[in-house]
Structure 1
Amino acid sequence: MKKVISVYLKSICEESTNALNEKAVEVAYSTLTKAGVVAVPTDTIYGIAGLAQNNDVIDRIYRIKDRDKAKPIAICVSEIDEFYKWSKVTVPHSLLTDLLPGPVTVVFERSPALNNRLNPGTKLVGIRIPNNEFIRTVCRLCNSPLALSSANISSETSCISVEEFQHLWPSLDAVFDGGILKETDPNRLGSTVINLSVSGFYKIIREGCAFSNVKHILENKYSLKEMT
């Protein structure tokens, strides 16, 4: 296991601001494109990530988490335009820009372009664009969606610091430390997961940390109705 790598470096000019560690980005890109599995910070909790189009990587993520393969894994992309490649979008582009980047996972019907070995038990896929510059930059460089799941053994508490999942480090190819994430998701709820696969309707799959804001946008701005 490689050493833990800091995602951010303090700015020389301004101690209060952090700049992306270019070396961390380089190592993350190199590791992922060689079919590695890494731990990364997001805008909510720490996650485990790997190339979604690689079957071996998907299998490894399930093994590391000791996760039931019947439980789906979301994907992470860097830009909203990528939604149209990997899923069948049923909502206005502006709705997606109102929600993302942010602590929201949007569920649509998957497109044929997405790896059919990823979540084979469902025609749906959850897609995220975390409001985190590091993971978005790495995802953009990889030019591929990343399979993204929480950095913990399945059913265990989610993690807001790299030390909390230290027992998983030996199973990972690299761990990227973005500090303690408690300011963005203090209750460790993770992203709000919403099913938007049916035009005109929404269904909350997991309330997560942005539930109230998401519900307000969907109902008051776009007049979507909640599925029962």
Structure 2
Amino acid sequence: MAMLTGSDVELAAGIVRRGGVIAYPTETVYGVGGLATDVDAIRRVYQLKGRPLSQPLSIAVSSMEMLESVANVECRDFILRFLPGPVTVILKKKKVLPDILTAGSKYVGIRYPDHPMALSLISKTGPIVSTSANLHGEKDPVAADEVKLPVDYVLDGGRCKYGAPSTIVDLHEYAIVRKGVMYDEVRRYMFGCGYATEE
């Protein structure tokens, strides 16, 4: 069956709620995901990407309330400064998130994207997996027609604003673990607050 592409957020959300896996736009790159609490959907994301189960996946939320439902919040000032936005924060996960998602780690990467279509989608589904919609190690897709994974639906939100991955910040260790979009702003803020910088 041909992969479906369109801009119907409600259709995409229904697929996710039923355990499906979709690709969706963010301000950084297109993501692929299913429900962050559904072990079968998470396993399928790993399989579609060819990603080792030993490498954790991040998730995406659409509000602070949703973020607080899945993780223990640290450095609230940092979160309020940079989210929603192109930054992934690592926080201690709550038990609602299965261990397969984080490869057994107690911590989870969380995106709160600054993209209206992504936020609308997630508000209808709850937390979803957030990892780039490409085969593991290949180029990140920045438009719907660049998504080649055989997902159930590609939610077309046009080209991504930044077209580059998010900066990842470990808010438990106070360290930048990946340079990405807004790296300079994040680094300046962390220095200004007396936090550590890169690992």
| TM-score, length basis structure 1 | 0.82
Instruction: Provide the residue aligned with 2:69 in structure 1.
Output: 85
Query: CA–CA distance in 1 between the matches of 2:153 and 2:96?
Result: 28
Measured on the aligned residues, the alpha-carbon RMSD in Å equals: 1.5
Say which of 34, 50, 54 aligns to 1:66.
50
The Cα of 1:150 is off from its aligned counterpart by 0.3
Instruction: Provide the residue aligned with 1:212 in structure 2.
Output: 184
- Structure 1 pair 47/209, CA: closer, same or farther in 2 (3 Å)? same
Structure number, greater radius of gyration: 1
Matched, 1:100 2:100: no
**Unpaired runs of at least 5, structure 2:** none
Matched, 1:150 2:132: yes
Instruction: Provide the residue aligned with 1:131 in structure 2.
Output: 114
**Unpaired runs of at least 5, structure 1:** 7-23
1:117 counterpart SS class: helix
**Residue correspondences, number:** 198
| TM-score, length basis structure 2 | 0.93
1:1-228 aligned within 5 A: 1-6=2-7, 24-92=8-76, 94-142=77-125, 144-166=126-148, 168=149, 171-181=150-160, 184-186=161-163, 188=164, 190-198=165-173, 202-220=174-192, 222-226=193-197
- Cα distance per residue 1:61-112 (max 9 Å; x no partner): 00100011111100100012222221122213x3211110100000011122
Instruction: Provide the residue aligned with 1:11 in structure 2.
Output: none
The Cα of 1:2 is off from its aligned counterpart by 4.8
The Cα of 1:180 is off from its aligned counterpart by 1.9
Query: CA–CA distance in 2 between the matches of 1:227 and 1:205?
Result: 6
The Cα of 1:161 is off from its aligned counterpart by 1.3
The Cα of 1:50 is off from its aligned counterpart by 0.6
Query: CA–CA distance in 2 between the matches of 1:151 and 1:103?
Result: 16
CA contact (8 A) 1:80 1:96 kept: no
- Cα distance per residue 1:193-226 (max 9 Å; x no partner): 010114xxx1111101110011122222x33233
CA contact (8 A) 2:55 2:103 kept: no
Give the percent of matched residue pairs that are identical in Structure 1 and Structure 2: 31
Range 209-218 or range 127-136, more displaced:
209-218
User: Given residue 66 of structure 1, which amino acid in structure 2 is its aligned partner?
Assistant: G
- Structure 1 pair 165/25, CA: closer, same or farther in 2 (3 Å)? closer
